[in-house]
Amino acid sequence: MRVLLIGSGGREHALAVGLAADPSVERLFAAPGNPGVAAVAELRDVTADDPAAVAALAVEVAADLVVVGPEAPLVAGVADAVRAKGIACFGPSGAAARLEGSKAFAKDVMAAAGVPTGRSAACTTDAEVTAALDEFGTPYVVKNDGLAAGKGVVVTDDRAAAEAHARDCGRVVIEEFLDGPEVSLFVVTDGTAAVPLMPAQDFKRVGDGDAGPNTGGMGAYAPLSWAPADLVERVMAETVMPTLAEMRGRGTPFAGLLYVGLALTRTGPKVIEFNARFGDPETQVVLALLATPLGELLHAAATGALADFPALRWHEGSAVTVVVASHNYPGTPRTGDVISGGEQPGVIHAGTARRADGALVSSGGRVLSATATGPDLAAARAAAYALVEGITLDGSHHRTDIALSAVEGRITL
């Protein structure tokens, strides 16, 4: 089949590597892609969140399947426009992508479906904000209602900072703090049938020891040896299937990738957030371990054929990815710095560009993610950090403790 992949970040590079390795994928196009994606796919230009432009490109390249990576095109209705051309698309409709596009909508669906999650209040006025902060107490959790590229959430004990974030956002969801290790579970679904991938853990804070502000994600690893044996089964039964049923009942079935962000609290797994697409950088580690051909899996989901899809196969061992970020990220990142070591196998490109002279340069906050597998987590971790050592990028920074507490057996439930 001919596949068109939409997006330009690390998630899309990881998806492109997976799709290119699938023998059923005869030709792989990516738009707009990045210099890493260019090594495994034919790049085309497109404005990714322009539904008509993406649909026209899908027709032009005679795609049998379009895979939409990022959330903004999905929320903008790119999947609807592609399907309207009679082309299979992996990614939810604009209406279903509201599960990510609006935190208040997601909370409403969760309440209707009886999904375990934190208590919350949607707030627009100062009075509502004050009442919600008083009710839920510290640490305060204040979330921008709309899309914010993983940076719309403030978790703080500082009342003034919580109030300032609420004012800046205008419309927020304030919720109860959920205490416990976080897990990301990706679920591939055609709207009715659903197939969970391997749970992963990511690292949201910029600094070692989870210090500093939230980012889009600084690293990830899988599998989670410390997670309860029944975790996936429980989340499928308590959260995923009821949510999919609720979305079908509303006439907006969710087909694509349902990302369930969970906190494993003392009273069980509770939803922190839903996303409507693969998470970055967890995709890098989950796909590094997936042995099932990725294109076949996504095509089955996009064509309503997931119920008959064979059980997923996984490689033995573990995977770790470490994000190398630009100077000043997650503040306004410095870009245009020359990168060396970016072409090592396993180095996934997120924010890179080719300069006119051919040099690889940084073009975003998260620049690369060094991804490696190994027979166990310690070996995978050592291999990922060895890749990082081979990268030079002036002013860059990375966390040095990705997967460390799991290797040392320090995660307790």
Give contact residues for ligand AMP (rule: CB under 6 A).
118, 141, 143, 150, 153, 155, 175, 177-178, 182, 204, 214, 261, 263, 272-273
The least CB distance from residue 384 to ligand AMP, in Å, is 21
Query: Measuring CA to CA, which residue among 6, 3, 131, 145 is closest to residue 79?
Result: 6
* Closer by beta carbon to ligand AMP, 215 or else 362: 215
**Pairing assessment for the beta strands 65-68 and 88-90 based on DSSP bridges:** parallel
CB atoms within 10 A of CB 390: 14
Tell me if 66 sits within 8 A of 59, measured CB to CB: no
Nearest residue to ligand AMP on Cβ basis: 273
Tell me if 336 sits within 8 A of 231, measured CB to CB: no
The least CB distance from residue 177 to ligand AMP, in Å, is 4
* Closer by beta carbon to ligand AMP, 28 or else 110: 110
The least CB distance from residue 286 to ligand AMP, in Å, is 17
Helix, strand, coil abundance in the chain, percent, nearest 5: 30, 30, 40
Q: Which two tokens stand for residue 120?
A: 């919350």
* Closer by beta carbon to ligand AMP, 37 or else 123: 123
* Closer by beta carbon to ligand AMP, 139 or else 304: 139
CB atoms within 10 A of CB 329: 25
The least CB distance from residue 122 to ligand AMP, in Å, is 14
The least CB distance from residue 138 to ligand AMP, in Å, is 11
* Closer by beta carbon to ligand AMP, 29 or else 140: 140
| CB neighbour burial string for 45-83, b if at least 16 within 10 angstroms, e if fewer | ebebbbbebbbebbeebebbbbbbbbbbbbbbbbbbbbb
Tell me if 369 sits within 8 A of 216, measured CB to CB: no
The least CB distance from residue 369 to ligand AMP, in Å, is 17
* Closer by beta carbon to ligand AMP, 184 or else 252: 184
* Closer by beta carbon to ligand AMP, 144 or else 284: 144
For tokens 């416990």, the residue is: 180
Instruction: Give the CA distances from residue 185 to residues 3, 171, 233, 241, 311, in Å, rounded to whole numbers and listed in that order.
Output: 25, 27, 11, 13, 17
The least CB distance from residue 275 to ligand AMP, in Å, is 8
Q: What is the SS3 assignment for 163?
A: helix
